[in-house]
Each structure stands twice: as C-alpha cells, then as structure tokens.
Structure 1
Amino acid sequence: MSKISRYHISRANGLKDGRDANRLLFNSVLSSAAAASSSSLPLVCAVHCRILKSGSLDVVFATAMVDAFGRCSELRTARKLFDEMTHRDIPAWNAMLSGYNRNGDLQQALALVRLMFLSAVRPNSVTCSILLQLCSNHGDKSLGRCVHGYLWRHPGIGDNFLYNSLLVYYHNLGHVHIAESLFEEMERRNIVTWNAMMAGYIMNNRPKQALEMFHHLRQEGLRLGLVTLETALHACARVGEEAMVDGQLIHTLFVRMGIPADVYTENSLLLMYCQCGSLHLAQHLFNMMASRNIVSWNILMNGYVRKPLPERAVTLFRSALSILPRLSSDLMVGALRAVKQLHPCPEFVMCYHGLVVVLGFTSDEFVASSLISAYGEHMDVANARRCFDYVFPGNGTTVLWNTLLSVYLHSGYLLEAVEILPLMRNECAMADAVTLVIALSICAQLQDIKLGKAVHGYAVRNNFEGNSFVISSLLEFYSRCLLMSKAWWLFLRIPLRTTTAWNTMIFGCSQNGSPRASLLLFHMMQQLEDVKVDATTVVGVVEAIGQRGYEREGDYIHRYAIEKGFLSNEFVANSLISMYWQFGDLGKANEVFNGGSGHSRATWNAMIAKYSDHGFSETAVSVFHLMKVNNMRPDEINLLSVLLACAKLASLRCAMWVHTNIMKVGCDCDVFVSTSLSDTYAKCGELPVARLIFDDMKLRTTASWNSMIRAYGMHGDVEEAGKLFHKMLSCGIEPDFITFLVLISSCDHAGEVDKGLGYHNLMTNVYSLSPKMEHYSCIVDLLGRKGMINEAFEFLQKIPLIPGTCAWGSLLMACRAEGKIDIALAAAKRLFKLDPFSFGYHTLLCSILSESGRRVDAFEIKNKLSLIPQKNRNMQGLSIVEV
C-alpha cells in the first residue's frame, strides 16, 4: 500500500466530526481509488469498512463502492454489494455494467442488461455507450445494432457522447460507410466527434481521408486540441512522403498554439518525419529534444533502417551505447537489421554478435532471430546455425526455427532446410503459418511433391486452410510442380478467394503454358465486386499476353494500366517494357518508359538491359548516362547491365567511365560487379588492369576465376591460364563445367592439343564431371585446327551423347581447311539430318565441293539455293546431294 493510501486511511479512522465531513473524505478517497489500478483494493476495502461503521451507506456511496470494486477487478464483491442495494438508480446499474465491461465479461454484462429491462429500468445514454463499448471489444454486431435501433426509437436519450460512441463502434467493426452516414446526420458535432472520425479512418487504413477530415475540421473553426493534432500526425505517418507538407503544417500548429512539447508529442512528430522520409528533419528534431526516452531512439533507428540508411543507423546505435544506461531489445534489433543491409564482411556481424552476448540479449527471441538473419544475409550459414544451436540453447521458439529455415531457403541450402523440419517437430516447436509458407517454398524449388503434399496434409489437420498466405503458397507449390489440376481443385474449393490467390493462379497458368487461362481469370476478377485487381495482377496478365504474342491484347492491357493508375508502379512499367520488346515494338517500349514519372532503378535497368541484349549497346550506355543526369544513384544491377554493354562495345573509354561510377557509389567491393568489371577490361584489351582488379578482390567466386581464366585464353596466354587454374585449386575452389570449358577453349585458340585433351581427362577422371556438348565441340575444333581430322571424326563417333550441329559444323569447317572430302561428306550428311534448314552449312559444303574439283555437285546445290528467296532461306529445307 502506498504512503498516500495509508494517509487517507489514517485520516478516515481519526475523523469523527460528523456525516458531512465523512462524506467529503470518502468522496475524495474513492476518487483517488478510481484513478488507481488493482493495487488500490486495500484502500477501497478500508473505505468500505469505514462507511459501514459510520452508517453512511446510501445509494450514492453504494454506487461509488460498486464502481470502485469494479475498477479493482473485484467483481464478486461489487455484484454482492449491488444485489444488497435496496434501491438501485440508473447510475448504480451503469456502475455494475461498467465493471463487467472493463473486465471483459460479456455474458454477465448481457445477463445484467436483461435483468435491467425486467426491473423496468430505462437505460440512458451512458448505459448505451457502455454497451456499445462492450460490443466493440467483442465484435458483437447484433447487440450493437439493437442499441442503435433503441436510440432511433428513443431519440430523447441521444446526446453527443452517445453518438460519438456509435461512431467508434462502427469504425471498430470496419463499417466506415455507416459511420460516415451517421456523421453526416449529426446536427451537433464537437471536437470529440471529429477526433473519432479521424481515428476511425486511421484504424481502417484510410489515412488520407483522416487528413481530409482534419482540414474540414479547421474550416469549421473548432478549437484544435492536443488529441486532434496527434491524431493528424499519426495519419501523416501512415500516408508517408505524400503527407510531408501536412506534417510540417501540424508541427507549425503545435508551436503557434503554445502546446507544451512533452516527450510523447515530440515522439509523434519524430515518427511523422521518419515515416514521411525526411530523416534530416527527424535527426534535427531528435537533437533538439529536451528529453528523450527509449522510444525516441527506436523511432529514429527504424527510420534509418526503413529508408534505408544503414550507415547512419549504425552511427546512431553507437551513440546509444555511450549515452543510454541500458539498451532495449528493439534498438538491438534495429541495429542488426542495419548490419544486415550494410553487406560488409561477416566479421562485422560477429562484432554485433558479441554485443548481443555482453548486453544480455541471448534470451530475447527477436534479437536472436535478427542475428541469425544477419548471418544468413552475409551467406554465413554455418555461423547462423551455430548461433541457433549454441548461443540460444533451449530457446528454439517457432520464430527462431522459422528464421533458420528462411536463411537456408534464401541461401540455397534446400536439402539442409528439409532436414530441419523433422528436427523442429522433435523439439515440440509448433509450426505456424510462416513455417508452412517457407516449407512449401522449399518443396516448390526442390519439386518435392511428396513432402509438399505432407505439408498440405498438416495444414488441413491443423486448420490452416483458412489462412490466405498458406493457401497462396499451396497454389504456387502445385503450379511450380506442374500439377495445375491440383491447383485448380484447391482454388475452386476456397470459400473466400483473396486477390493473392487469384494472382497466384494467373501466374501459375502463364508459367505452365496456359496464358489464355490467365486472361480468362483476369476477366473473371474484373466482374467480381469483392476482389480488387492490383499491380501484381496486371504484371501477371502482361506476362501472359507476352507469351500469346497478340499486340492488340498488349495495347488493351496498356490502356487498362493507364486508366487504373497502375503505370506508375515500377513492376507494371517494367513488364510492359519487356512485353513490347518481345513484340519488337521499340517505339511503344519507349512510350511506356517516357510516360512514367520518377522511374525507379528497376525501370532504368529494364531499359538498359533490353537495349544491351538486343544489340543497342551504345543506346544502353546513353540511357545509363541519362539515369545519372536524373540524379538516380545506380545500384549493382544497373552497373552490371551497363558493363555488359561496354563489353560488347569493347570501348576502353566507356569501361573507365563506368569504373569511375562504380568507385563513386561504393560498389567496387561487390563480387559480381568486380567480376564483370574485370571481364570488361579484358574484352577491351586491357588484360593487366583486369588482373589488377581480380587480385584486389577480397572475395572471389568460381565465376570470378572462370572469367579471369577466359581472359587469358582470349589473349592466347595458355600458360598463364593454367597457372591461374592451379592457383584456383590451391585456394580450395572447386572447378565446374565452365572452368574446364574455358580451359579447353584457351587451348583451342592456342593450338595446344595435348593440354586441351589433358584438361578433358582431368575433368572426367579426377573431378567426375560429365562433359556436355559444348566441351565435345571444343575438343573437335581443337583437333580440327591441328589437322587431326580423322581423330576428331573418331572422337565424335565414340562420345556418349548424340553430337549436335555445333560439333559436326566444327568438323565440317576443319575438313575444308584440310581438304578431307570424304569426312566432310559424312559430317554434312549427319549435320543436315539434325538441321535440314541451315543455309550456311549448305553454302559451306558447296565451297568444299567446288574447291575439291567437284564443281558439278557444287553447281547443283547453288542452283537450289538460288531458287529460295533471301528472307526464307533459313526456313526452307534443302535436299542433300548424294555423291
């Protein structure tokens, strides 16, 4: 019991000056008790005893005692006291009803209401308001409408307080249109009415309408209060960057009205600036705050992470370490999310791992989950697993299991992820909807139908079939496993199909070669009122139309995207650009690009990549330059696309310019960008610069080694390519198919037959890699260039695969150089069986025959070739001249 409570009890025991003095004292004590929590129960009991001793327990005091016991969650005592009252007025019934409402006892509250009507007590506005609050808390629609009907039949009891309660009730149920109608019908509206509407709009995810309501309120001339301004600030935070001007206006109103800036108000302002993207203003406000709590630090940290500005988030965390006496787990989670975004070396994550242990957050599942996720983002799966097994032993909650599964999934360790699922069950960690979604994604990538069906069975047995995310994941699993009949069966059984389920089926049909079904689903969606077409839907339909190849359909979906306002979405714009490139309509692709405003990096990259892929390398570089002019900071994907264009141009000047941009944006540490840059310099003839970039790389993948080996092969330096290969092996990097292909190709260019065959034997006998047709073709070309035509022909006849056109074509070209007419005819016969429409190989055979003196046979082939129009020469078959 507090000192104040003991003081009041001592005064109550010592005061004996009459009933009036007692009444004043008891009222004061009960008012204090009403404002306190359950800790004031001893004080209420003491006052109750004193009132009973003084004989002052009239209806007013009894009602006050019922209310006080109800606030202390002592409902049995309150009800006993209520039942013992000889006379109960409407405030007494309201006090008991309020107690049931405050403690969430719906059944007892309803029973009391029935008893109230049986006792012929007419409810007033307070009674109806309590009932409406009770209905809101329990989602009871029928009783709330009965209360509204009672109010309509008895308009005399209606006041602003009751109408405001109705507004709150309908907003809590999500019936915004009813609340709006009620608001329009109200003759008198006070500031609470406007606040209720604004808060209701925010609750139902309509923050823009809440801001419109705020501006209407200002036009009405009502005096704004602290609650109104803070509600408007929350609306600005929910809207985001578009509400920046409104947020600054509200901040100005705070200053003009002289509202004292407490920490709660300043935190609301700080949240608004962070959500609206003005981090510099948020940082300025944070620096000027007279007092900050841990919420202030968390808000600014989350703002930097969301932007994302991970460097500033890490700097803020370091400041918190030196200023705050104790960090919160939320701040630690924010710091780990920033570390996850930074993409430095894994050792940086280990530093924060040490902080987690030192600061005592090893028992916090959310900190643990963020730490495991940070290791996974840096592809350090081993440490992520160790973190799960040793740092947080015994804390294997479902959240941590889900995080570990997600790390395995996104790192490509799918088989290890499958092994985790039974371990999770053995540890008695209950799988939730997130677990099922991750498991189904793993099954879809592995094409593991048996395991996927087992997960489906678990979802059915544990009542997850009503979860929209699980349903969508099941549909995607069956679609990716080519079981569209199962997907259709499941889709048709869904009682309430969400937009996500429709989108999954649209993409599934398109990916399984049924674009017409995707378009039919789209037209069905448009006819349903409860399903809303979103940007993802449009992207799926655009992909389906791209498969069908009908330009009229493409024009239709383009117009639809413009009419519905989807063209500003970067994914829709990118899919339309790709579709028009598929149609070969460069003009309309540019029209989509030029019609958008504020292009994202993805949109710029789509244009750069498409120009580069279709041979317009100079234009791709020009688009990249235009992107820089528009103050768009390039990322790794943009740089990779423009480097590909520079490599095709073989322009050293262009490569050096892109290299400068890579250094400016700090992408030189990215392994993929560095690999592509090294490859570009090699193709531009600057092999020493390419090697210098390669040597400076802190992390090298197999692709990095392959690229550098290929560079030496292109320049004819087989010896250095071999040295690099052996250095690759000494670093513990396993060679792959491409490694041996570039080695054999290097030997081919240099004419090193023995080395080429040696690498072929090393590939098959030591590393147990089965050669592909590209390797066989390269060996044939290698033997043919050295004049070993017979050996090449025998080699092709012995390989386990059926030789393709490339292999026989290489042999045919080698026969021309060596004048081997017999093998040339045999190769041509095999070649034309595989590809009877090849004009180039027929021309090559014609030249071989002519050079060997068989001009009559060559003349017959030329005559047949001349009869075919130029545009159709690759589409018409030619008969083989048997000689």
Structure 2
Amino acid sequence: MCFRLRQVYLCRGFSCLAKSHIFPTSISSRIKTLVQQGEYRQALHLYTKHGSSPLRTSIFTFPSLLKACASLPNLDYGKTIHASVIVLGRQYDLYIASSLVNMYVKGGLLDYAVQVFDVLSENGVSSQDVTVWNSMIDGYFRFGHFKAGVDQLRRMLELGVRPDAYSLTIVVGVLCKDGNRGREGGKQIHGYMLRNSWNGDSFLETALIDMYFKFGLSTNAWRLFVGMKDKANIVIWNVMIVGFLDNGLWESSLELYTLAKSNSVKPVSTSITGALGACGQSENVDFGKQIHGDVVKMGLEHDPFVCTSLLTMYGKCSLVDEAGTIFHNIPDKGLEIWNAIIAAYANNDCGHNALELFDSMRQKNVMPDSFTLSNIITCCSMLGLYEYGKSIHAELVKRPIQSKATVESALLTMYSKSGRDNDASLVFNSMEVKDLVAWGALISGFCRNGKFTEALEIFRCMKNSESLRPDSDIMASVINACTGLEALGFGLQVHGYMMKTGLELDVFVGSSLIDLYSKCDVPEMAFEVFSGMPRKNIVAWNSMISCYSRNNLPELSIGLFHEMVDHGFFPDSVSITSVLVAISLTARLLKGKSLHGHTIRLNIPFDTHLENALIDMYMKCGFLEYAQNIFRRMLHKTLVSWNLMISGYGSHGNYLGALALFDEMKRAGEEPDDLTFLSLISACNHSGFVQEGKTRVSVNGSSTNVDPHRFVVYLRRKLQEIKITRQKFFPRKKEDGWEFLANMVDLLGRAGHLEEAYSFVRAMPVEADKSIWLCLLSASRTHHNVELGILSAENLLRIEPDRGSNYVQMINLYMEAGLREKAAETMALMKEKGLQKKPGCSWIEVRNRTRVFFSGSSYSSSMEAEVFNALNSLKCNMKKENNEDSDKMTFREVIL
C-alpha cells in the first residue's frame, strides 16, 4: 500500500471520531511537560487515557507526542498520530512536519520521512524553512546515504535557504568520518562560523571541538574551548574531558575535571566516567579516590555507568579488593557491572575470583555477552583450565552470541597456548571475519609452541589471502619465528618488508629484530636497527646490551650500559644481568662489584636470573666466597643456580665442595641435567680424582669402568628425560654428549691412564671430533707417550688441516721426543701454508683499566716495559737469595 493510500485510509478511519469540543489545554500542557522531562511513556499514556481524537487535539500537542514516539521508539503509535495530523489538515505545518520527519528517521523509516518531505516540497511549504531541511539532511547522513545528503544540502543552498548552526553541526558530524578531507572541511566550517559571527553558538562549538579531538588535533580543540564565551554548560566540559582522554592526554583530562569544579560547573555522570577513565589509564589511584569521594557526595554511587567506571579504574590500578568492595555494595547489578568486575580480576591475575563470579552470575540468570566470555576464556588460558574453557566453547556452539570476534580470538589464544593447534586451526577456519587479532593469535600461538615453520606459513597465507596490513605485534611474532629457526635469510626479507611499511621503527619490532641478528651472529646489523629507532625504551637497550654480550663483545656491552644510564633510562634486573654476563667474560672484578653495589643502592629487585649472573661473575673473577654468600641467600634456587655453583667449585679445584653440593642438590629434589654431570666430571678432572669421576657418571652409579656405548646411551636417555633447555650462560652448538666424552678422555688422560683413554675413544659409537683428539694429544705429551701423541696429532690435522695451533702441538711433541727432523718438517709445512698460532694472553685490571699481555710480544708501551723490568728485577733478587741460602747451607755442613 503506497504512502498516499495509507493517508486516505487513515483519514477515513479517523473521521468518525470527530467531536465538537477541544482537547483540554491543561492536559496538552501536562503532556508537553512530561516530554520535556523525558517521561515519554507517561505522556503517551496521558494522551490515550483522555480518549483523544484528532479534532480534540491541539496542534501544539502533536510535536511533543511525535517527539515521544521518536524517543521510545513507538512507530505504530506515531503513525496513528500522523493520521490525526492529516485528519486536521496540519500535514503542511512546518513544525509538525519537521517532527514527523525526525520521528521516521529515528525509527529507521527513511522512505516515510522522504515522502513527508516531498509532500511539503510539492506544495512549496518547506523552501525557506531550514528546520525541515535539517531533519531531512540528518536522515540521509544517519542512514549512510552520504551523496544524497550532500545533494540535499546543495539543493537547500541553491534555493537560498541559509544554513543555521544545527545544519553545520550535522555536516561536522559527517566530516568526522571522512579522514583528511573531513579534517580540512571541518576547518572550513570553523572559518565559516567565525565569518558569520556564530562563534557564540555553544552547540556548534561543541561539535567542532569534538571533531578536532577525533582528528587528534587537541591543540585546536583547546584553543576553541578557551575562546568560548559561555562555558556554563557541562556538556562542553564533558567533551573536553573525554577528548583529552581519547587522545592519551590523561593529565589534561584530569585538569579539566578540576577546572570544571573550580568554575562552579557541577559534574554529571559523563564527567565522572571520563575522569575515572583518565585515572585508570594513567594509574593515578590517588586522584581516582578523590573522584570516588565526589561520587558519594553527589549521590551517584548507584549510577550504573559511574559504578562501571569505578570498577574499571580500580582494576587498572591493581586494587582489586577495593573493586570487590564496590561491587558487593551495588544493589542492582546489570551486565556491565558484572563485566567490569570480571575484567578487573582477569587483568590482575585473579583468574579464580573471576571464575567464581562467573558462576555466581549464571546462578542469578544474568546472561553473559561476548565481553564476559572473552575474559573468562582468557582466565582459563591463564590458569591452564583448558577443559573448562573447552566446555564454555561447547556452550557457545549451542548458543551463538553477537560480536563473537573477541571470543573467537580468546579461544584461539587459549588453544594455541595449550598446544592444541588443531583446535586453534578449527576455530580460525570457522571465523567469518578474520581480523588482525585472530591472525596474530594463531601466529603467536605457533611461536609459543616452538612451531616456527607453521607460524611463518600462516604469515604467508595472511599476506596472500587478506588485504590486512600486519601490525607490530604480528611482525614481532614473525621475527621471533625467524629467530627460533635461525632463518637469517627470511628474516632479512621480513626486515625489508618492514622498512617499506615503516614498522621497523616500532620499538617492539625493533627489539625483535635486534634479537634475531644477535642470535644469528650479526651484531653490526643489530646495531643498525638500534641506531635507527627514534624512540628507544628499556627493552630495546637491554636487547642491544645482551646482543653484544652474546656475540663476545663485552666491552661494547659495558659501554652501551653506561650510555643507557646517561640517556636517563633506569636500569632494571635484565639490564644488570646482561652487563654482568659481559663483565664475566672479561673477569673485571672491580666493575662487577661496583655494579653489584649499584644494584643494591637503587633497590633494583633481585630475581633469579640476576642472582645467577652475580654467582657466575664472582666465580669467573675468582671470588668463590662471594658466590657462596649469594647462593645461600637465594630464596628460589633453579637448576642453573646449582650448576653454576658446582661448576665454580670444580674450576676452583674444590672437588669435595662440588660433590657435596651435588648431593645437597639431589636432597633438595632438583633433577640434574647434562651441565650438572659435565661440571662434576670437570671437578674430578681438575682435582685428579679419576675413579670418582668415572663412578659419578656411570649408568648404575657404582661401576669403576666406563663403557662408552652404555655411557652415550645413558646420556641420551637423561637428555630425553629432563628435556634439556639451553641456558644463556652456556651457549653450546655441539651435539649432546660430545662435551662429556671429551671430558672423560681428558679425565683419564690427565691421570696417566692413556691406554684406557684410547680404548674409550676407539669404543665410541661415533667418530671422535677435534676436542677429543686434542685432549688425547695433550695427555700424550704430558706422559711422554710419543706413539699415541703422533696418532692423535695426525687425526687432529686430518680434521682441521688449516689450524695453526694443531701444528704447534705436533711440533712440540716431536721436540720433546727428540725428533728434531720431524719437528723441522712440520714447521716448514706450517710456514708453507702460511699458518700461525694465536698467541696466548693474560690480563690484569688496574685502576678500572684492563692491561693485556700477549705471549712473545714486544713492549708496546712504557708501562709494559716498566712492568717487565720490575719482573726481571724480582727474578734477579730471587736467584740471588736462593744462591745465598745455598752457600750458607754448605758452610753449615762444613762446620758440622
């Protein structure tokens, strides 16, 4: 039925209701008052109660009734009132017609609004009235018909209808969604307002301020606010408070809240929620408590929006107990209240509390939404309650909810974190819309479970199948996958892609790149990334410091730490740990002690990694007692802590201490790993306790002879049992077991059991590497077994024919055995190949400066010459004293 036929039908239906008397003026006035107070249902009920008919209703009552219908919305009632208007012939009244257009627009019936407007235009009624034009233009824009709205605005201007402040406000609202063009258009409207002296219209000025904030032009918004003549309306203050909050200017938001109170502008619910949001974002709990006091004074403690904001603020400030108290004192708890308290617990690692509230919520028949369930699934992931999370997933399948993208992303994260990649893939494939969060959750999940190849494959699919641009979180995960695979080539490709997109400058992506280049032994590339980062946080500095330590550049690591402090960054435990590793490599005791004291003075928290680094540093600097004190005071000793101490005892020749600590470690319930046994063998090796060393690493713990086959099988089984993890203090790239075998050969060789050592090598199920032959060669030289030494040297040269130190070892062996011709031949061969042995060196730290002395070097400085002169003088004195003692003894013998 067309619109005009409906009009005829309604007119005929209502014509029989015509009466001779008019609708009482008092009732009409009462209806108007109720509508102004927002009591829309009561207004319509009053109209119906008095048996109204079209002819009894005053024309001044219709706009109020239509406004009530638009606000509810109640279009059926509105259509009935429209029929009454037609019966009275008031459909051409501009005020009533504008109300009809507004009602149909708000009710979602744009076609009805257009027909009302067209009826007016056909009769030439609306041409000069801007109010009706505003309603129609607003309708087009509200329904997304941007072009039609612009055409209507252009048509209005062509007819000579001058736009008012509300017209411009409608346009400003549309421009806020139009990017850069909208920003320029908004500035033009601002200029138009100033040229036409409309700068006193607070409604338009408020819209412009809101527009500037949405475009991130906070300074423009502030200037416009300062220039406003009338600031008595709380709405403008609310826009300023929320605008600064949305732009991350939390302090300015709180200053505006304080300024509003000092200007006697009474805050309302929106003001409170905006200010509490700023407190939560900035974690300014003191200011938040002051606002909480204002809430109580104004009687808003039961306002649902204010309560939700209070709970969120206390949650973000980690005051969950206060949030819980507020929650339990709220008499009428809506869904938003439940969501706020559950989110507060979930975000503060109080997953059990969140789950208890969720059960209570369901008992009270409060239906959860997507926000509730995403937080609950996150708690399941946090607590490892994957079966519970899966049961919630089952409920979701039975009862689909709206806006489930966040829930699906939470499910993806949970399944990925639990290692259930198949379930994660099923959730991902079932998603209708795969946003960045979903792709990121799947990629990071594969990375977390060590499935780096799968993570990179998902990234390729994302780039090929979607128009989405990866964000910094996704790129950081992709780089971590490259790092895990040590795929430097693909990492370079990813780096190039990021340079094109500008993501390289992101501090988190940059830190991941530094870590990639660090682990791929390319520190110069890591430094280029670090230097190109415009904003460096503590994570970036720590990554670069650790990079230099990892790549055996300790001096650069130490220097960068001082540079970081000079730039005003406060070091954390990670910074201290990385620098301590560098100090350990250089054995600079004074620097290490200074850093230890610096850490105590600054109250930097001592975590396990930092304490382990201190133990390692003091051990390598020769201060066993300091390391012991730190170890004994540790609240939580990890396997790394025990290994460091056992290794330290062994390197200091304290064999009994190493074994005693090993026994203590077993009593403490700590399972040893390969490094533990390696340290024990080394301790026995340095102390010469051969039998004890063999016993400690035997399969049954009591055998005196070690079978290499059984030993290797034992080692492999142990590695599988304890799932060995590489520790940064002992980065090793050899196959598991090689270091044990080499140490066993060295252990037997040092003790002179050369035949047993060689038998051990021959019985090995794998071919011996260079380290094993070098140990056997060194033992052969020590115990003058020329035949075995030559055999070891030949195997060593076969494996590494271009290493100068191997030739030197063989030359020394020939010389010690008196085979000078063989030594000369080997030396000639070495010179022919142009090989040299790197000289040994020693160093000493004097006045915070390290002095290095190379074997066979000439005096490179006056200080070195002075040192050697002093040494020669001491040697002469010692010889002189020895000769005198010898002469005296002979004289006594003669006397006696």
Normalised to the residue count of structure 1, the TM-score between the two structures is: 0.71
Q: Percent identity?
A: 16
CA distance in 2, matches of 1:391, 1:737: 50
* Corresponding position of 2:33: 32
CA distance in 2, matches of 1:362, 1:183: 38
CA distance in 2, matches of 1:388, 1:251: 33
2:52 aligned counterpart, secondary structure: helix
Whether 1:126 aligns to 2:158 is no
2:161 aligned counterpart, secondary structure: helix
* Corresponding position of 1:47: 47
- 1:259 maps to which of 261, 265, 269: 265
CA distance in 1, matches of 2:323, 2:498: 52
* Corresponding position of 1:849: 814
**Unaligned runs of at least 5 residues, structure 1:** 1-17, 330-358, 526-532, 540-568, 875-883
* Corresponding position of 1:645: 582
* Corresponding position of 1:162: 167
1:59 aligned counterpart, secondary structure: coil
* Corresponding position of 2:853: none
Opposite residue 234 of structure 1, the aligned amino acid is: V
2:796 aligned counterpart, secondary structure: helix
C-alpha deviation, 1:159, in angstroms: 1.4
Distance 1:398 1:773, change over 3 A: farther
* Corresponding position of 1:93: 97
C-alpha deviation, 1:781, in angstroms: 1.6
* Corresponding position of 1:464: 433
- 1:214 maps to which of 206, 215, 222: 222
CA distance in 1, matches of 2:31, 2:63: 11
Alpha-carbon displacement from aligned partner over 1:104-146 (angstroms, at most 9, x marks no partner) = 4556545655666677653743334334444555444344333
1:60 aligned counterpart, secondary structure: coil
Distance 1:194 1:68, change over 3 A: closer
Does the CA-based 8 Å contact 1:617-1:648 persist in structure 2? yes
Does the CA-based 8 Å contact 2:308-2:336 persist in structure 1? no
Alignment of 1:684-763 (within 5 A): 684-762=621-699
C-alpha deviation, 1:172, in angstroms: 4.3
Does the CA-based 8 Å contact 2:172-2:208 persist in structure 1? yes
C-alpha deviation, 1:845, in angstroms: 1.8
Does the CA-based 8 Å contact 1:792-1:811 persist in structure 2? yes
Does the CA-based 8 Å contact 1:636-1:667 persist in structure 2? yes
Whether 1:150 aligns to 2:166 is no
Relative to its length, the structure with more helix (as a share) is: 1
* Corresponding position of 2:79: 79
Higher Rg: 2
Opposite residue 462 of structure 1, the aligned amino acid is: M
Does the CA-based 8 Å contact 2:23-2:58 persist in structure 1? no
C-alpha deviation, 1:644, in angstroms: 1.9
* Corresponding position of 1:562: none
- 1:231 maps to which of 225, 236, 239: 239
C-alpha deviation, 1:201, in angstroms: 3.2
C-alpha deviation, 1:637, in angstroms: 0.6
1:156 aligned counterpart, secondary structure: coil
* Corresponding position of 1:513: 489
* Corresponding position of 1:803: 768
**Unaligned runs of at least 5 residues, structure 2:** 1-19, 700-710, 720-735, 840-896
C-alpha deviation, 1:81, in angstroms: 1.9
CA distance in 2, matches of 1:406, 1:752: 55
* Corresponding position of 1:195: 206
CA distance in 2, matches of 1:32, 1:362: 32
Distance 1:446 1:846, change over 3 A: farther
- 1:818 maps to which of 764, 769, 783: 783
CA distance in 2, matches of 1:117, 1:486: 58
* Corresponding position of 2:831: 866
CA distance in 1, matches of 2:379, 2:766: 39
* Corresponding position of 1:353: none
Distance 1:371 1:778, change over 3 A: farther
C-alpha deviation, 1:82, in angstroms: 0.7
Distance 1:798 1:461, change over 3 A: same
Alpha-carbon displacement from aligned partner over 1:656-687 (angstroms, at most 9, x marks no partner) = 43333434454455222222223333334443
Opposite residue 783 of structure 1, the aligned amino acid is: L
C-alpha deviation, 1:786, in angstroms: 1.3
* Corresponding position of 2:861: none
CA distance in 2, matches of 1:640, 1:58: 83
Opposite residue 69 of structure 1, the aligned amino acid is: C
CA distance in 2, matches of 1:277, 1:362: 21
- 1:660 maps to which of 572, 582, 597: 597
C-alpha deviation, 1:167, in angstroms: 0.8
* Corresponding position of 1:291: 297
Does the CA-based 8 Å contact 2:773-2:792 persist in structure 1? yes
CA distance in 2, matches of 1:237, 1:860: 82
CA distance in 2, matches of 1:58, 1:389: 54
CA distance in 2, matches of 1:118, 1:798: 107
CA distance in 2, matches of 1:76, 1:862: 108
Distance 1:460 1:444, change over 3 A: closer
* Corresponding position of 1:776: 741
C-alpha deviation, 1:199, in angstroms: 0.9
CA distance in 1, matches of 2:353, 2:794: 58
Equivalences, count: 760
Distance 1:708 1:49, change over 3 A: same
Whether 1:537 aligns to 2:504 is yes
CA distance in 1, matches of 2:335, 2:612: 39
CA distance in 1, matches of 2:738, 2:281: 55
Opposite residue 127 of structure 1, the aligned amino acid is: V
Alpha-carbon displacement from aligned partner over 1:419-440 (angstroms, at most 9, x marks no partner) = 8886665454579555665777
CA distance in 2, matches of 1:72, 1:391: 33
Normalised to the residue count of structure 2, the TM-score between the two structures is: 0.70
C-alpha deviation, 1:401, in angstroms: 7.5
Opposite residue 195 of structure 1, the aligned amino acid is: T
Alpha-carbon displacement from aligned partner over 1:242-293 (angstroms, at most 9, x marks no partner) = x85x668757864774434667646655655775687777777777988375
C-alpha deviation, 1:635, in angstroms: 1.3
Alignment of 1:338-487 (within 5 A): 364=338, 367-368=341-342, 371=345, 374-375=348-349, 425-428=393-396, 433=405, 451=421, 455=424, 458-465=427-434, 467-471=435-439, 480-481=452-453
Alpha-carbon displacement from aligned partner over 1:40-76 (angstroms, at most 9, x marks no partner) = 5244322344373896413332343333333343321
Distance 1:195 1:436, change over 3 A: same
Does the CA-based 8 Å contact 2:745-2:776 persist in structure 1? yes
Alpha-carbon displacement from aligned partner over 1:274-314 (angstroms, at most 9, x marks no partner) = 756877777777779883756889878867876xxx6xx54
2:50 aligned counterpart, secondary structure: helix
2:810 aligned counterpart, secondary structure: helix
* Corresponding position of 2:804: 839
Does the CA-based 8 Å contact 1:716-1:749 persist in structure 2? yes
Does the CA-based 8 Å contact 2:580-2:617 persist in structure 1? yes
C-alpha deviation, 1:642, in angstroms: 2.4
Opposite residue 433 of structure 2, the aligned amino acid is: F
Opposite residue 717 of structure 2, the aligned amino acid is: S
CA distance in 2, matches of 1:457, 1:396: 24
Root-mean-square deviation (Å) = 5.1
